[in-house]
Amino acid sequence: MLYRENGQFKTSYRQDQQMLPILQDRIFMGLLLLFVYVGAPFIFSDYFFLSILIPFLILSLAALGLNLLVGYCGQISIGHAAFMSVGAYAAYNLVLRLPQLNFLVVLILAGLIAALVGLLFGIPSLRIRGLYLAVATLAAQFFTDWTFARVKWFTNYAPSGSVSTATIDLFGWHVDSPVRKYLFLLAVVTLFAVLAKNLVRSHIGRAWMAMRDMDVAAEVIGIRPVYAKLTAFGVSSFYVGVAGALWGFVHLGSWEPLAFNITLSLNLLFMIIIGGMGSVLGSFFGAFFIVALPILLNRAPEWIGVDMSTAMVSHLESMIFGSLIVFFLIVEPQGLARLWAIGKEKLRLWPFPH
Amino acid sequence: MRKNFNMIVLGVALMAGLIAPLVTGASSAGFYTEVLLGGLMAGVLYSLVALGFVLIFKASGVFNFAQGAMVLFAALSVARMAEMMPLWAAILLAVGIMVALAFVVERVVLRPLVNQDPVVLLMATLGVTYFLDGFGQTIWGSDIYEINLGIAKEPVMILGNLFEGGILINKDDVAATVAAALLVILLALFFQKTKTGRALRAVADDHLAAQSIGIPLNRIWVIVWSLAGVVALVAGVVWGAKLGVQFSISQVALKALPVVILGGFTSIPGAIVGGLIIGVGEKMAEVFLAPVMVKAFDLAGGGIENWFAYVLALLFLLVLPQGLFGEKHIDRV
Amino acid sequence: MGAGLNGGRTIGDVVLDLQGISLAFGGVQALQEVTFDVREHEIRAIIGPNGAGKSSMLNVINGIYHPQQGTVTFNGVTRHSVNTHKAAVQGIARTFQNIALFKGMSVLDNIMTGRNLRMKSSLLAQALRVGSAEREEMEHREAVERVIDFLEIQAYRRTPVGRLPYGLQKRVDLARALAMEPNLLLLDEPMAGMNVEEKQDMCRFILDVNDQLGTTIVLIEHDMGVVMDISDRVVVLDYGKKIGDGTPAEVRGNQAVIDAYLGISH
């Protein structure tokens, strides 16, 4: 009843190709944006911002980056947190050594540096694929772990190996309170999400998906595998590098090299598996899921009235994660995003059964 | 051909790196041999884990990321049960547990995903890893446990007359090597001489052909996973006796990846050779190369062994993608 | 029979020339010293029993396989092996026996990939969807819509290709190849697995492509009726060797061809 396209005829290709062709979707998105930008700052508590929304936003960005590579282009990477750390340390060093740069410029530069490193580690993908490529990405992970822990220049010769950052200053607007951090991240993430959506709708996005689905046929059509794979690695690493810089500066404040370890890489992968590979929306679903689940699990025993040690909770978390991954892979390999799409399909028919 | 040239360059570079410490006089012959032997022993442990990978991959094309978790789970079971019963009984029971685990994993995880992309299967086994990790620690607890095989912990001095001062070897390392060797021989006999072994080889070669001659695929996969479970058990007991049952599973499983890359995903001798190469390479790099690098680049400590295996695997991948003993694949369009 | 059903169309000079192509995989000799040519605007069929090397021949023409011996001359340029990308750039398109469509995309997107060679906007322009990128997308969307109209698949634009019935998937495969605006179209069993009506439709499309667009077509097909009806000339392969070459009528009367098809050992 409500969710119908009746009367919404497209009279130009331009209208047909727009991001949200259905009017109800546009209204929904408008309301959502209104809520997150204007409403949320007044509604949610500082705790909610700090422990859920801020990590959620940054990890969505990272998941989005990983999704571009794995979900859209079909190249596996189980060491992607390496590029987050490159972005974080790049931003740290830029702020340290070129303090006159505006933080937005730092962010872009950090992303570009991460993109370059990503390109470098993406070169193996030109010759190897699948499981073998996974090992190559692990090399990236462990090598960057080691580099930032051992090459003292990166941490400015800090004896403990940790670095810390100052508050971000954007043209005099200090990003210090939780609400300000939230709004800043929201702006960055919305922008990047739109850019990503544009990319996957364009010919480069189609080239990526063609490489994923059938690379021999893609070559025959004239798609260059080298260009497609390297751009996927590059753009993906750019996103993830920016996310890493934001993670370090906005969320953590200070960090040690192991903040970007293999566990984070695997978490990113889980986000896109559960959220939906090959879907921009799915990256957000997955990130929210991974951020919210541990908190939920931590609180749940209290609510039910059962007593559980923190160790037990973390074991439970592992078990639930593991089962969910297997569950999603078997039952709905396209993740929560697909469930969302199915929900919308049902909504079109509502209130009729079929 | 360019490919052969690359292989030769890689081989020469590795050999050069291997004998450099001796040749340059940076270390005495005795110490060098000690490090070499230490590396070989560490390599044996890696090989044991990699064996499990190869078994499963050979028979079902699944890359079992959960192998490391299985090693830990098996080790935990043995360690805890051995507190309540004699060691041999604990081990026997653990075999049963691993077989049961194999059943469950095959039924619940593998069968529904049977024709999917290898990467999907990899991720599924990742899920199994996380589950097993939490489950194992829920049941058995998460402290550090001991497995007492009755072998003395003090190192032994050998070859005192050949090398000045002799060479230190750990007895439990020797035990590990013996166990590994026995396992490989038993497996080889199993595959060559028994009916089930032959069936397994048939399945590894071609699923469809094997099915068409009546080999029950599902049962074979349960057998293979059980075998891998037993291998995991041996690895777990050996590792656990040496280091105590508390290692992070991620490290164990992940290190075996470079091993099978070097050796070839489908080759048992490859798993052994790959493990030895990685073990020796890592040790050598850490002991001899790291100090050089620390001095040269003013590094905050060594730790090369964290990434050396992977970078080595990466180089191998670019030069010899199928590994030393693996099979080449020709894709038809 | 003879001249096919396309009257009023002039067959031009030789546009593709294959000389002495030999191709082997391991111990298997797929093609042995195969020589034939294709003229502009014609429909050239390659026929032969299963395993004769027909698909391998197409793969050699557009660079998926590299022959050990022989040369491929296209548009006057002679090469020992063809580079797949260059082949696409020079206007060679093909369909596949096993429908190599991109299962994760819709029909429209699949066909749009055929335009990738011609879409030049930069990464940044695409990300920002600025004027030039947007215009390029629309321009190529129009071209694709023309192909969609031509092949009558308008109703399926947004459907994921995996959900379409086999016959329609084959049509989308053809559409994607046509979107490349090829000079030479290689069709690998375009009618395999189709019923009579679908085959008639496909024949009509192939003839239209040849007639209206002037595309040179090399076609592998098992249905003799189709081959005899629509092709101008035929090449017959058996066990990797050429055993016949000429008009449909000539080939039909060739004893070696008859033997090969009747399975008389030779």
Record: contact C100-A206, CB cut-off 8 A? no
Mutual angle of helices C131-151 and C166-179, in 10-degree steps: 130
Record: contact A322-B258, CB cut-off 8 A? no
Contacts of B274 (CB under 8 A, 6+ apart): B46, B47, B50, B258, B259, B260, B261, B262, B263, B264, B323, B324
Record: contact C180-A207, CB cut-off 8 A? no
Nearest neighbour of A139 by CB, restricted to B314, B321, B333: B314
Record: contact A216-C134, CB cut-off 8 A? no
Q: Is C155 helix (H, G, I), strand (E, B) or coil?
A: helix
Q: Which is higher by pLDDT, B306 or C95?
A: C95
Q: Which is higher by pLDDT, B20 or A145?
A: A145
At position C214, the amino acid (one-letter code) is G
Chains that touch C (3 or more CB pairs under 8 A): A, B
B333 pLDDT tier (thresholds 50, 70, 90): very low
Q: For residue A139, give the chain B residue with the closest CA.
A: B310
Contacts of A303 (CB under 8 A, 6+ apart): none
Contacting residues of C for A204, CB less than 8 Å apart = 123, 126
B121 φ/ψ angles, rounded to the nearest 5 degrees? -65, -40
Give CA–CA dist A99/A84, Å, rounded: 21
Determine the Cα angle at B117 with ends A263 and B191, to 5°.
95
Contacts of B90 (CB under 8 A, 6+ apart): B77, B78, B81, B82, B84
For B159-279, where are the E strands, in sequence order? 167-169
Give A261 to chain B, closest Cα distance, Å.
11
Going by the DSSP 8-state scheme, the letter that residue A51 receives in this structure is I
Tokens matching residue A69: 């590579």
Give CA–CA dist B298/B291, Å, rounded: 10
Give C4 to chain B, closest Cα distance, Å.
31
Contact C22, C249 (CB under 8 A): no
Contacts of C39 (CB under 8 A, 6+ apart): C11, C12, C13, C14, C15, C216, C232, C233
How confident is the model over A243-295, as pLDDT tens digits?
999 999 999 988 987 889 888 998 999 899 889 999 999 999 999 999 998 88
Give CA–CA dist C157/C144, Å, rounded: 11
Give CA–CA dist B49/B252, Å, rounded: 8
A258 φ/ψ angles, rounded to the nearest 5 degrees? -75, 5
Nearest CA-CA partner of B133 in B72, B49, B52? B72
pLDDT over threshold 80, residue B243: no
Give C50 to chain A, closest Cα distance, Å.
23
Tokens matching residue B44: 């044996």
Q: For residue A15, give the chain C residue with the closest CA.
A: C138
Contacting residues of B for C59, CB less than 8 Å apart = 333
Record: contact A326-B128, CB cut-off 8 A? yes
- Element spanning C58, H or E: helix C54-61
Chain A residues touching chain B at CB-CB below 8 Å: 76, 124, 127-128, 130-132, 134-136, 138-139, 142-143, 145-146, 149-152, 161, 216, 262-263, 266, 269, 273, 311-312, 314-326, 329-330, 333
Mean pLDDT computed over C222-226: 85
Q: What percent of chain B has pLDDT over 70?
A: 83
Edge-to-edge strands, sheet with C92-94: C92-94, C184-188, C216-220, C43-47, C233-238, C241-246
Record: contact A315-B138, CB cut-off 8 A? yes
How confident is the model over A24-78, as pLDDT tens digits?
788 888 888 888 888 888 888 888 888 889 999 999 999 999 999 999 998 889 8
Average pLDDT, chain B: 78
pLDDT over threshold 60, residue B247: no
Q: What percent of chain A has pLDDT over 90?
A: 40
Contacting residues of B for C25, CB less than 8 Å apart = 330
Contacting residues of A for C141, CB less than 8 Å apart = 13, 17
Nearest neighbour of B128 by CB, restricted to A146, A312, A322: A322
Contact C70, A222 (CB under 8 A): no
**ipTM score for this prediction:** 0.89
C26 pLDDT tier (thresholds 50, 70, 90): confident
Chains that touch A (3 or more CB pairs under 8 A): B, C
A142 φ/ψ angles, rounded to the nearest 5 degrees? -70, -30
Q: What percent of chain A has pLDDT over 70?
A: 97
Chains that touch B (3 or more CB pairs under 8 A): A, C
Contact C161, C193 (CB under 8 A): no
Contacting residues of C for A223, CB less than 8 Å apart = 113, 116
Tell me whether B120 touches chain A (CB under 8 Å): yes
Q: Is B241 helix (H, G, I), strand (E, B) or coil?
A: helix
Upstream peptide bond of C49 is cis (omega within 30 degrees of 0): no
Nearest neighbour of C102 by CB, restricted to A199, A201, A210: A210
Nearest neighbour of B330 by CB, restricted to C25, C64, C96: C25
Tell me whether B330 touches chain C (CB under 8 Å): yes
Contacts of C178 (CB under 8 A, 6+ apart): C93, C114, C147, C150, C151, C185, C209, C213
Q: Where would I find the H helices in chain B?
A: 2-23, 29-60, 67-81, 87-105, 118-140, 171-193, 195-205, 207-212, 217-243, 249-263, 268-284, 290-297, 308-319
Q: What pLDDT is attached to residue C18?
A: 92
Q: For residue C175, give the chain A residue with the closest CA.
A: A221
C contact residues 52-81, partner B, Cβ 8 Å cutoff = 55, 59, 64
C contact residues 207-226, partner A, Cβ 8 Å cutoff = none
How confident is the model over C124-175, as pLDDT tens digits?
989 998 888 889 999 999 999 999 999 999 999 989 999 999 889 999 999 9
Going by the DSSP 8-state scheme, the letter that residue A166 receives in this structure is P
Tokens matching residue B72: 């830990």
Q: What pLDDT is attached to residue A160?
A: 79
Give CA–CA dist A248/A271, Å, rounded: 20
Tell me whether B299 touches chain A (CB under 8 Å): yes
Contacting residues of A for B135, CB less than 8 Å apart = 315, 318-319
Going by the DSSP 8-state scheme, the letter that residue C181 receives in this structure is -
Terminal-to-terminal C-alpha distance of chain A? 12
C4 pLDDT tier (thresholds 50, 70, 90): very low
CA distances from B324 to A128, A158, B11, B228 (A): 16, 43, 12, 22
CA distances from C238 to B162, C17, C54, C145 (A): 71, 20, 9, 40
Contacting residues of B for C55, CB less than 8 Å apart = 333
CA distances from A138 to A133, A274, B53, C181 (A): 9, 21, 17, 43
Record: contact A14-C134, CB cut-off 8 A? yes
Q: What pLDDT is attached to residue C82?
A: 84
pLDDT over threshold 80, residue C198: yes
Mean pLDDT computed over A302-330: 81
Mean pLDDT computed over C207-231: 90
How confident is the model over B48-66, as pLDDT tens digits?
888 888 888 877 777 788 8
Q: For residue A225, give the chain C residue with the closest CA.
A: C85
Give CA–CA dist B73/B100, Å, rounded: 13
Q: Which span out of A11-15, B17-21, C253-257 was modeled with the highest average pLDDT?
A: C253-257
Pairing mode of beta strands C14-25, C69-74: antiparallel
Q: What pLDDT is attached to residue C1?
A: 34
Q: What pLDDT is attached to residue A2?
A: 66
Give CA–CA dist C75/C60, Å, rounded: 16
Tell me whether C163 touches chain A (CB under 8 Å): no
Give CA–CA dist C159/C89, Å, rounded: 29
Record: contact A319-B135, CB cut-off 8 A? yes
Number of Cβ within 10 Å of residue C208's Cβ equals: 14
Q: What pLDDT is attached to residue A198?
A: 93
Cβ contacts below 8 Å, chain B against chain C, sum to 7
Give A107 to chain B, closest Cα distance, Å.
27
Give C100 to chain B, closest Cα distance, Å.
9
At position A171, the amino acid (one-letter code) is F
Q: For residue A322, give the chain B residue with the closest CA.
A: B127
Contacting residues of A for B331, CB less than 8 Å apart = 216
Give B291 to chain C, closest Cα distance, Å.
45
Q: What pLDDT is attached to residue C187?
A: 95
How confident is the model over B120-132, as pLDDT tens digits?
778 888 888 889 8
Terminal-to-terminal C-alpha distance of chain B? 25
Tokens matching residue B116: 């999917």
In sequence order, the β-bridge partners of residue B156 are: B169
Give A346 to chain C, closest Cα distance, Å.
17
Give A162 to chain C, closest Cα distance, Å.
35
